[in-house]
């Protein structure tokens, strides 16, 4: 029984980590049709950025975002080359964005890398990475087929991973937990970090619900997800919706990386597997429904934990095999319907 509880709590904790990634995947997929293979890399960028702050260093993410942002601004400027007022606006917004990011990093470092400030600033930097990636890789091929978009995201994954390896090296870095406290619940020791992961995940899910139901931007995103053409005709900018979805997704995945880093250290290889497991969870909801995706990651996390206990050599195979019955079940009835 103790073993069961131990495995279950750890399974749910990992499930919550995958859950944030699954939510990101669903947001990106519904709004932009991209099944984002690169989503796990934002997890790694979140963890590595936080680790850099903990070492009182300027995170390499800043350079990446500024460099990418400059490229975006140049592309935008080229598009607007005949409209001086738009050019001016692009220059102004870019300068403000760069100043805000640099200012945030400076403030964080000036505060001797205060933990909460470091978290917030890392989150800001990683969130900024999302729109940059969207502008540079997705927007040019906005009307391509879903397969092309998936292949682009595979390329993005390779580039981001390679960049991180160059910028940070392969060495794992320790990241201190939010708090070393915890409490004994029966035989199981619950660390503050695990509770924090669960709390943040729950908060994000609730926040997302409020955002989609009650805010204008959220409603616009939902409209784009339901019918892109229709949304466009109603005056919703598909481009802006895409930028917003990538920013949100990067933010959630980055948060998941920062939360999990104290448990597994920050290293450049951590992202991909977390991303894939989040993906398996999200397939439960067909990369489209939030509640089913959450159920999916809870199952993936627990199965992961129990498989590692009873058959550790096959744990990943068992988790990834889960995708087969899910795909069969999800696709079966729909086929029948289309036949009729």
Using the rule CB under 8 A, which residue among 114, 288, 316, 330 binds another protein? 316
Nearer Cβ to another protein (215/310): 310
Q: Which secondary structure element, helix H or strand E, spans residue 185, and what is its range?
A: strand 182-185
Question: DSSP class of residue 339?
Answer: H
Q: What are phi and psi of 9, to 5 degrees?
A: -60, -45
Using the rule CB under 8 A, which residue among 147, 170, 233, 324 binds another protein? 170
Residue 185 token pair:
């619940």
- Report the C-alpha gap between 261 and 238 in whole angstroms: 34
By CB under 8 A, residue 172 contacts another protein: yes
By CB under 8 A, residue 273 contacts another protein: yes
Nearer Cβ to another protein (171/336): 171
Nearer Cβ to another protein (126/197): 197
By CB under 8 A, residue 306 contacts another protein: yes
By CB under 8 A, residue 255 contacts another protein: no
In this structure, the chain runs to a length of 340
Distance spanning both ends of the chain, measured CA to CA: 50
- Report the C-alpha gap between 162 and 37 in whole angstroms: 15
Count the residues of the shown chain that bind another protein, applying the rule CB under 8 A.
Answer: 37
- Shortest reach from residue 273's CB to another protein, in Å: 4
Residue 102 token pair:
């640099």
Residue 59 token pair:
């995170």
By CB under 8 A, residue 262 contacts another protein: no
- Report the C-alpha gap between 108 and 48 in whole angstroms: 15
Using the rule CB under 8 A, which residue among 62, 72, 247, 260 binds another protein? 260
- Report the C-alpha gap between 152 and 138 in whole angstroms: 8
By CB under 8 A, residue 6 contacts another protein: yes
Using the rule CB under 8 A, which residue among 272, 279, 284, 290 binds another protein? 272
Q: Which secondary structure element, helix H or strand E, spans residue 182, and what is its range?
A: strand 182-185
Q: Is 190 helix (H, G, I), strand (E, B) or coil?
A: strand
Q: Is 183 helix (H, G, I), strand (E, B) or coil?
A: strand
User: Do residues 128 and 97 touch, judged by C-beta distance below 8 A?
Assistant: yes
By CB under 8 A, residue 193 contacts another protein: no
- Report the C-alpha gap between 80 and 246 in whole angstroms: 23
Q: Which range binds another protein by CB under 8 A, 91-99, 117-125, 165-173, 199-207?
A: 165-173
Using the rule CB under 8 A, which residue among 94, 267, 283, 293 binds another protein? 267
Binding mask 208-247 for another protein (x = CB under 8 A): ----------------------------------------
Nearer Cβ to another protein (9/30): 9
By CB under 8 A, residue 162 contacts another protein: yes
- Shortest reach from residue 171's CB to another protein, in Å: 5
- Shortest reach from residue 181's CB to another protein, in Å: 14
Phi-psi region of 289 (alpha: psi -120 to 50; beta: other; left: phi over 0): beta
By CB under 8 A, residue 184 contacts another protein: no
- Shortest reach from residue 296's CB to another protein, in Å: 16
**Strand 182-185, strand 188-191: pairing:** antiparallel
By CB under 8 A, residue 289 contacts another protein: no
Q: Which secondary structure element, helix H or strand E, spans residue 212, and what is its range?
A: helix 192-214
Q: Which range binds another protein by CB under 8 A, 1-9, 65-73, 281-289, 292-300?
A: 1-9
- Report the C-alpha gap between 326 and 310 in whole angstroms: 23
Residue 91 token pair:
């220059």
Using the rule CB under 8 A, which residue among 264, 288, 318, 323 binds another protein? 264
Q: Which residues bind another protein (CB under 8 A)?
A: 3, 6-7, 10-11, 13-14, 17, 162, 165, 169-172, 174, 189, 260, 263-265, 267, 269-270, 272-274, 304-310, 312-313, 315-316
């Amino acid at each position: 029984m103790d073993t069961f509880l131990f495995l279950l709590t750890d399974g749910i904790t990992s499930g919550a980590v995958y859950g944030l990634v699954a939510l990101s995947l669903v947001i990106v997929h519904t709004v932009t049709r991209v099944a984002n293979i690169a989503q796990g890399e934002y997890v790694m960028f979140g963890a590595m950025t936080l680790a850099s702050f903990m070492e009182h260093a300027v995170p390499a993410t800043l350079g990446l975002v500024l460099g990418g942002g400059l490229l975006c601004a140049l592309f935008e400027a080229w598009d607007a080359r005949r409209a001086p007022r738009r050019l001016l606006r692009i220059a102004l917004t870019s300068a403000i964005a760069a100043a805000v990011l640099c200012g945030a990093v400076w403030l964080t470092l000036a505060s001797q890398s205060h933990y909460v400030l470091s978290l917030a600033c890392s989150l800001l930097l990683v969130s900024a990475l999302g729109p940059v990636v969207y502008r540079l890789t997705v927007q040019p091929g906005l009307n391509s087929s879903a397969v092309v978009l998936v292949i682009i995201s595979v390329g993005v994954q390779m580039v981001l991973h390679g960049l991180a390896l160059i910028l940070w090296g392969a060495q794992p870095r320790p990241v201190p937990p939010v708090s070393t406290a915890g409490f004994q619940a029966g035989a199981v020791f619950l660390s503050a970090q695990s509770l924090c992961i669960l709390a943040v995940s729950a908060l994000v899910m609730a926040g997302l619900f409020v955002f989609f139901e009650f805010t204008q931007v959220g409603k616009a995103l939902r409209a784009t997800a339901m019918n892109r053409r229709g949304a466009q005709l109603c005056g919703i900018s598909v481009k802006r919706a895409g930028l917003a979805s990538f920013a949100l997704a990067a933010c959630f995945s980055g948060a998941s990386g920062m939360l999990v880093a104290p448990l597994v250290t920050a290293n450049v290889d951590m992202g991909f597997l977390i991303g894939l497991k989040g993906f398996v969870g999200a397939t439960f909801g067909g990369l489209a429904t939030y509640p089913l995706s959450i159920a999916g990651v809870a199952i993936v996390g627990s199965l992961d934990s129990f498989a590692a206990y009873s058959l550790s050599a096959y744990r990943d195979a068992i988790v990834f095999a889960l995708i087969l019955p899910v795909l069969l079940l999800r696709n079966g009835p729909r086929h029948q319907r289309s036949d009729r």
